[in-house]
Amino acid sequence: MYIYKCIYIMSNLVHLTIIRKRCGNGHTYTDRNSGKRIKERSRILKLKKLGVPPGYPTAYLTENMNEKILAIGIDARGRSQYMYNQSHKDEARKDKYEKLYLFGKKLPTLIRSINHELENPNNSNYVAALIIKLISVSYFRIGCNKYAAENYSYGVTTLLRNHIRFSKNKSVIINFPGKHGVINRYTVIESKNPHLYRYLLSKRNIPRNESLFPSETQSSVNAFLSDFGSFSSKYFRTWNASKICLMNLSLSPDPLNLSVKDRRIHVKNAIRKTAEKLHHTESICKSSYICPAVIHLYTEQPAVWNKLNMRYKNKNMNRFLLEVVKYYNSTST
């Protein structure tokens, strides 16, 4: 995999003209067009400023800071990390949250469709609907067969029988190692999620190393979602993270009565609680999952926040979030 990834980059990303190789405690930099090692201190310092983590045995870099892809690091197992320039990251982030608004608008229709599929186990999308339902209530990742096989890190589509335990009080406890080995846990209660409970109960006697959802993959679930727009299962995590943060801030003190410093303290607490729910770090939660609209309105536009909070608090949090994202998108540049 490592060799194939290197060949792909050299063949298709010709602007990455510099090869960085690990050498002792440092690195060497080679111009792959001339084959000559780079020794100019100014060029090396410029390449180091790209911030490619030092642990990669091989990395491909560009000296043109206007390129979309500035560098790619490849580890010994062939896994790659792309580093983009800031303007591309800003544009991608803006596009992500504009699409999040469209996702929020489609969400009521999507929920109705999922509930319809769950009415009959013989429906063609019954299992896909179950998976989306579980993602919605548990905040689990979708799962990837490659990561399950290589890293023993799981998600919903790769869950095994030994990841669930049946309780006497008509509930099923799901417990498994997710990304980075972080333990993910959720309890399916029959009275709250009867379809999920009955499905998991039907898997009670299968072998412990057998898949709970053998007919579904990340691709098949995303194919079902594509009927509603260009959305993937990841949008549920982004939406849920933003909604959890919103719910916590809606219960916080009136921001108009707080200093900016105190508002940020409440934001930090809300992010921490959100990260705990989604089983990842506060930093990743803030940078990659929580829509900046939620934090921005509470800290920077408390009057607008209060108006929306009074209208939707304890009523419809999905609608509350939709209006927050809509307002933010209409005013951000």
CA atoms of 56 and 23, how far apart (whole Å):
11
The CATH code belonging to domain 234-331 is: 1.10.132.120
Q: What CA–CA distances, in Å, run from 145 to 130, 157, 181, 205, 246?
A: 18, 8, 15, 23, 33
Domain residue ranges of the chain, discontinuous segments joined by + = 2-84, 121-228, 234-331
* Model pLDDT, residue 315: 80
Average pLDDT along the chain: 90
3-class DSSP assignment, residue 66: coil
Asked whether the predicted pLDDT for residue 77 surpasses 90, the reply is no
Phi-psi region of 40 (alpha: psi -120 to 50; beta: other; left: phi over 0): beta
Query: 331 or 332: which carries more pLDDT confidence?
Result: 331
* Model pLDDT, residue 93: 81
Task: Report the side by side order of strands in the sheet with 80-84.
Answer: 26-31, 18-23, 58-61, 69-74, 80-84
What the block records as the tokens of 311 is: 């209208």
282: burial class by Cβ within 10 Å (0-12, 13-18, 19+)? middle
Q: How confident is the model at residue 4 (pLDDT cuts 50, 70, 90)?
A: low
Asked whether the predicted pLDDT for residue 185 surpasses 80, the reply is yes
The CATH code belonging to domain 2-84 is: 3.30.66
Least confident of 26-30, 77-81, 226-230: 77-81
* Model pLDDT, residue 141: 93
State which of 7-11, 85-89, 138-142 shows the largest mean pLDDT: 138-142
Contacts for 27 with CB less than 8 Å, ≥ 6 apart: 20, 21, 54
* Model pLDDT, residue 99: 92
pLDDT above 90: percentage of residues in the chain = 65
Q: How confident is the model at residue 6 (pLDDT cuts 50, 70, 90)?
A: low
CA atoms of 114 and 135, how far apart (whole Å):
12
Of the CATH numbers 3.90.15.10, 3.40.50.300, 3.10.440.10, 3.40.50.2020, which one belongs to the domain with range 121-228?
A: 3.90.15.10
Average the pLDDT over 66-92 and give the result. Answer: 86
